[in-house]
Amino acid sequence: MDKIRFQVLAGTHTGYRLLLWLLIILIGIGLIAAHHMESQGHWVTGMDNRVVWGLPHVFAIFLILSASGALNTASISSVFGGSDYQPLARLSGLLAVTLLTGGLAVLVLDLGRPDRLVVAMTYYNFSSVFAWNVFLYTGFVLVVLIYLWVMMTPQMRGYVRSVGMVALIWRLILTSGTGAIFGFLVARDAYDTAIMAPLFILMSLSLGMAVFWVSTLTLCRWNGYLLSPELSGKLRRLSALFILGVLYLVALHHLTNLYMAHHQGIERFLLVDGGVYPWLFWLGFVLCGGIVPVWWFLDRRFSTPAWTVTAALMVIVGGLCHLYVTIIGGQAYPLRLVSGYRVDSGFYDGEITHYLPSLPELALGIGGVSLALLMIVVAVRILPFLPTVTGSLPGSNQG
Amino acid sequence: MTQRLAIALLMILSFGASSIADVNLPSYPKGRGEYCVEPTDVMRRDHFEYLMHHRQISVHLGVRSKRHSLVGCVDCHASQADDGTYISVNEPGQFCRSCHVYTAVKIDCFSCHAAVPDAVVKQ
Amino acid sequence: MTNPENKPRRRFLGRTGAGTALLALAPGVRLVDLVLAKDEDEPASDETRWGLLVDANRCTTGCRACVSACEDEHALAKTGRNRLDPQWIRKVELVDESNDRSLSIPLMCQHCEDPPCVEVCPTGASFKRADGMVLVDKHTCIGCRYCMMACPFNARSFVHEEVTGQKSYSPRGKGTVESCTLCVHRVDNDRTPACVESCAVDGHGALAFGDLNDAESTVSKTARSQPHRELRPDLALNTGVRYRGV
Ligand code: SF4
Ligand code: SF4
């Protein structure tokens, strides 16, 4: 097996520069949007007293989930002894840190009082999963940074496995914690289920892989690095497996809900007659983000990098649709206020809430994604994250 | 050389003097009553300690003593316009604002708290 | 922060001492019994559990006396955007799923004994006072709205824009979450919540306020002698607001 060497991203590609500027602009717009939301108040968003978490949360949770999932390759490489995954391990760690940072930025900037971040850091309610998540998130960044340092320092080789193990366990807890944020909402029929935590773990694996595909293949292309067909094949099968896992758990979730008399209303709403939500669910998530990419990932005819990236992008879009349906659809459907009674009329009670995301929300969400991406593209120029020589791939030893 | 130094020194000194003269020390309307709830120098230094303590025990424990309550501050220190209406203590030149501008400390109280006494409601 | 350690001392006021709080509704039925009041420098006591008893049989469709009273008391101005208006208390029309009987109830924070909003709040801004009132400490609320996700009754509102004209006893402001305070400022001064008062003044008397822990209070007595329920018994919240005739 050849030695793997890592290097910083060389040369200045036009694409790279364009991307850099684009990202900076998008981040700027995101910041302006956040400032607008804070100074005006949240009335400039589509959120109200019924749909209290909107598009920013869809983006934030997407980023947080993918952050944890992006660490897959590193985990396999150092914990499960997959030495052929090693060329991509550093990149995988980098993605984990940056995506999480982007997600947290969105979450914080959407707060009603973002200026009180210090309060959030100093006042803790330890019975709140949300507070625990703050610890889990910051801890995760720290653990992965140490992990990266260990991977990049030759003298620390011996510790890669154990630190990788810590990171693996940490991220499983982190994703369960994110799922638990919803699992704790006992009064909301859409979330009140134990499946939420495992579902979020699988979503993170599948979304993380997708983001990993898109960024890795792009960066490696710029760097003139080719993934070996074996590695690429393995990762593609893994992606397909994760997507199937998500589909399975989602099916299980909805089927169990259908057996609970009280949950049939919300099920009908999300899956059949809820307007935009069934469309996003079936077309966006199941077809575009599920069945088609599974097929492409498993079919060798689609094994070129271009198809792989396309499939991964579809998983990302599907994942966003899925989160939108879960987070916003779950709130748009009215609560059962009084057992045994229908709410006939009232102040927006017993009615479907119509939520329309506003431009600032979208800008904030995209700003968060851009922040994550900017950190990636800058980091690869500064530190040696990118592999230059792969194992056993003929003709790729150009170093 | 020494001449230049002297000129420079002079310039610095005169700058300093003029900037001291330029600064407007906070001036604000006098509060109602003879005394504040604590000696003035103590209040000047520690009012936020009292307020913070009171906020904790009143909100969380339900202690309703009036002495260190923000409502009390506003009641005594909000000045009245000629037509008798109250002026917010958070207006420029008024009690809270004038010092806080001078010391460049942001007041976060009045985005939620009333900065004028409640209007007297006829029963 | 010093936590006043002194044991709650209770002061016996006597019937006349509670004065205005004793509003006669019907012979033998009083609105509240605030015979035990606390000194102003005394902390709320966990021997008390404040509660509301709503009599749906007396509440009428279309009446909004309680809602208006609340809006006046706390200076809850309309925002001009319906869906963002503060709703500390609202009227809800219900239809019985089994026999189509319809009824009207006021719905506000139920002051749960095990409040989901308090459980989830990351900073502890949502909290339950010793005497059972569930409140938001707006000094530490970061506006994450997780409590609004958790509340089973949509009882909380988020302040979506700048607020002016607040009352000195009811601070509220942009970017934080708010809900019914059970008129804590009145209760701490031996008065009843504004909604209860206005409902009585309007002659409905559908709301009764008092100490659920005090066996002699009207709410307790009524609660013992008449069937009543929580709105979502399945969630086991043990709410401080109970409903008769629902
Ligand atoms: S009704 Fe809602 S806001 Fe009130 S205590 Fe219960 S969960 Fe909290
Ligand atoms: S919005 Fe405020 S009160 Fe509600 S959970 Fe967040 S910090 Fe707590």
Residue C218, CA distances (Å) to A217, A292, C24, C245 in order: 73, 66, 12, 17
Which residue type, as a one-letter code, is found at position A215? S
State residue C209 phi and psi, 5-degree precision. -120, 145
- Distance, CA of A21 to CA of B57 (rounded, Å): 52
Which residue's CA is the closest to the ligand 2 atom numbered 2?
C141
C123 contacts A123? CB cut-off 8 A: yes
DSSP one-letter string for C70-82: HHHHTT----SSG
Q: Considering the entire predicted model, what is its pTM?
A: 0.88
Under 8 Å between Cβ of A96 and A144: yes
B55 interaction partners in chain C (CB closer than 8 Å): 139
Q: Find the DSSP H helices in A41-88.
A: 55-70, 72-78
Q: Name, in order, each residue with C-beta under 8 angstroms of C155's C-beta and a sequence gap of 6 or more.
A: C107, C108, C109, C110, C179, C180
Asked whether residue A399 carries a pLDDT value surpassing 60, the answer given is: no
pLDDT of residue B23: 59
Asked whether residue C20 carries a pLDDT value surpassing 90, the answer given is: no
Report the residue count for chain B: 123
Asked whether residue A397 carries a pLDDT value surpassing 70, the answer given is: no
Highest mean pLDDT among A380-384, B22-26, C125-129: C125-129
- Residue A252, token pair as written in the block: 């299980």
Task: Work out which ligand 1 atom sits closest to the CA atom of C110.
Answer: 1
Per-residue b or e along A167-181, where b marks 16 or more CB atoms closer than 10 Å to that residue's CB? bbebbbbbbbbbbbb
B117 contacts C167? CB cut-off 8 A: no
Under 8 Å between Cβ of C107 and C155: yes
Within a domain: C1? no
pLDDT of residue A140: 93
In this structure, of A282-286, B4-8, C126-130, C140-144, the range with the lowest mean pLDDT score is B4-8
pLDDT band at A85 (very low <50, low <70, confident <90, very high): confident
Task: Give which of A110, A89, A106 is closest to A385, Cα–Cα.
Answer: A89
List Cβ<8 Å contacts ≥24 apart for A80-83. A83/A1
Q: Work out the minimum CA distance from A273 to partner chain C, whole angstroms.
A: 22
B62 contacts C188? CB cut-off 8 A: yes
pLDDT tens column, B64-111: 998 899 999 999 999 998 888 999 999 998 999 999 999 999 999 999
C234 interaction partners in chain A (CB closer than 8 Å): 339
State residue C178 phi and psi, 5-degree precision. -140, 160
- Distance, CA of C90 to CA of C14 (rounded, Å): 35
Place of tokens 């701490």: C188
- Distance, CA of A326 to CA of A190 (rounded, Å): 7
Task: Work out which ligand 1 atom sits closest to the CA atom of C180.
Answer: 4
Report CA dihedral (B2, B7, B8, B13) to the nearest 10 degrees.
Answer: 130
**Residue ranges covered by each domain of chain A:** 188-220+234-335+351-355
Q: CA of C42: which chain B residue's CA is closest?
A: B63
pLDDT of residue C34: 47
Ligand 2 mutation target, pool C140, C146, C154, most atoms within 8 A of CB: C146
Q: Name, in order, each residue with C-beta under 8 angstroms of C193's C-beta and a sequence gap of 6 or more.
A: C52, C182, C183, C186, C187, C207, C209
- Distance, CA of A104 to CA of A178 (rounded, Å): 12
pLDDT of residue A61: 95
Asked whether residue C35 carries a pLDDT value surpassing 60, the answer given is: no
Under 8 Å between Cβ of B61 and C4: yes
| HSE-CB for C58 with a 13 A CA cutoff | 17
- Residue A70, token pair as written in the block: 């992006």
Strands C50-55 and C241-244: parallel
Q: Find the DSSP H helices in A335-385.
A: 359-382
Q: Where are the beta strands (DSSP E) in chain C?
A: 11-12, 24-26, 29-30, 36-37, 50-55, 89-96, 102-108, 126-128, 134-136, 157-158, 177-178, 207-211, 241-244
Range of the domain at C60: 7-244
Beta bridge partners of residue C158, listed in sequence order: C177
| HSE-CB for B47 with a 13 A CA cutoff | 16
Asked whether residue B32 carries a pLDDT value surpassing 70, the answer given is: yes
- Residue A353, token pair as written in the block: 């809430």
Is the CB of residue C143 below 6 angstroms from any atom belonging to ligand 2? yes
Within a domain: C149? yes
- Residue A316, token pair as written in the block: 């990302």
Which residue's CA is the closest to the ligand 2 atom numbered 4?
C147
pLDDT of residue A344: 79
> Region C20-24: what's the mean pLDDT?
40
Provide the CA C197 distance to its chain's centre, in angstroms: 12
pLDDT of residue A192: 79
Within a domain: C97? yes
> Region C63-80: what's the mean pLDDT?
94
Under 8 Å between Cβ of C196 and C69: no
Asked whether residue C210 carries a pLDDT value surpassing 60, the answer given is: yes
State residue B73 phi and psi, 5-degree precision. -55, -50
Under 8 Å between Cβ of A213 and A72: no
Asked whether residue A106 carries a pLDDT value surpassing 90, the answer given is: yes
Q: What is the mean pLDDT of chain A?
A: 89
Q: Which helix (H) or strand (E) holds B97?
A: helix B95-103
Q: Name, in order, each residue with C-beta under 8 angstroms of A280's C-beta and a sequence gap of 6 or more.
A: A321, A322, A324, A325, A329
- Residue C45, token pair as written in the block: 């006591």
Which residue's CA is the closest to the ligand 2 atom numbered 6?
C144
Interface of A with C in 117-156 (CB under 8 A): 117, 119-120, 123-125, 127-131, 134
Ligand 2 centroid distance, CA of C176 (Å): 7
Comparing C221 with A27, the larger pLDDT belongs to: A27
Asked whether residue A209 carries a pLDDT value surpassing 50, the answer given is: yes
Task: Give which of C87, C89, C82 is closest to C106, Cα–Cα.
Answer: C89
In this structure, of A348-352, B3-7, B12-16, the range with the lowest mean pLDDT score is B12-16
Comparing C30 with A385, the larger pLDDT belongs to: A385
Q: Where are the beta strands (DSSP E) in chain A?
A: 6-7, 341-346, 386-387
Task: Give which of A27, A171, A16, A31 is closest to A92, Cα–Cα.
Answer: A171
C135 interaction partners in chain B (CB closer than 8 Å): 59
pLDDT of residue B84: 86
Measured CA angle at A194 (ends A193, A200), to 5 deg: 100
- Distance, CA of A110 to CA of A268 (rounded, Å): 31
Per-residue b or e along C211-241, where b marks 16 or more CB atoms closer than 10 Å to that residue's CB? bbbbeebbbbbbbeeeebebbbeebebbbbb
Residue A157, CA distances (Å) to A90, A94, A228 in order: 13, 18, 24
pLDDT tens column, A150-206: 988 888 888 888 999 999 999 889 988 888 888 888 888 888 778 888 999 999 999
Q: What is the mean pLDDT of chain C?
A: 86
Asked whether residue B2 carries a pLDDT value surpassing 50, the answer given is: yes
Closest ligand, as measured to the CA of A111? 2
Closest residue to A43, CB basis, from C92, C157, C161 = C161
Relative orientation angle of helices A129-152 and A160-183, to the nearest 10 degrees = 160
Within a domain: C2? no
Asked whether residue A362 carries a pLDDT value surpassing 70, the answer given is: yes
Asked whether residue C169 carries a pLDDT value surpassing 60, the answer given is: yes
Which residue's CA is the closest to the ligand 2 atom numbered 8?
C121
Q: What is the DSSP letter of A344?
A: E
- Distance, CA of A148 to CA of A375 (rounded, Å): 15
Under 8 Å between Cβ of A13 and C132: no
pLDDT of residue A317: 97
Asked whether residue A76 carries a pLDDT value surpassing 90, the answer given is: no
Q: Edge-to-edge strands of the sheet including C241-244?
A: C207-211, C50-55, C241-244
- Residue A324, token pair as written in the block: 């939108």
Asked whether residue C19 carries a pLDDT value surpassing 80, the answer given is: no
Count the domains in chain C. Answer: 1
Q: Which helix (H) or strand (E) holds C153?
A: none
- Distance, CA of A85 to CA of C218 (rounded, Å): 73
Under 8 Å between Cβ of C229 and A340: no
pLDDT tens column, A297-332: 999 899 899 999 999 999 999 999 999 999 999 999
Handedness of CA B89, B92, B94, B97 (dihedral sign): positive
A53 contacts C140? CB cut-off 8 A: no
Rg of chain B in Å (alpha carbons)? 20
pLDDT of residue A259: 86
Can you give the CATH number for the domain in which C146 is found? 3.30.70.20
pLDDT of residue A261: 79
Interface of A with C in 91-120 (CB under 8 A): 111-114, 116-117, 119-120
pLDDT of residue C92: 94
Task: Give which of C144, C98, B49, C6 is closest to A110, Cα–Cα.
Answer: C144
**Residue C123 CB coordination number (10 Å):** 25
pLDDT of residue C25: 42
- Distance, CA of C117 to CA of C38 (rounded, Å): 27
C175 contacts A113? CB cut-off 8 A: yes
Q: How large a percentage of chain C has pLDDT more than 90? A: 73
Q: Is B30 on the interface with C (CB under 8 A)?
A: no
In this structure, of A3-7, A76-80, A239-243, the range with the lowest mean pLDDT score is A3-7
- Distance, CA of C1 to CA of C3 (rounded, Å): 6
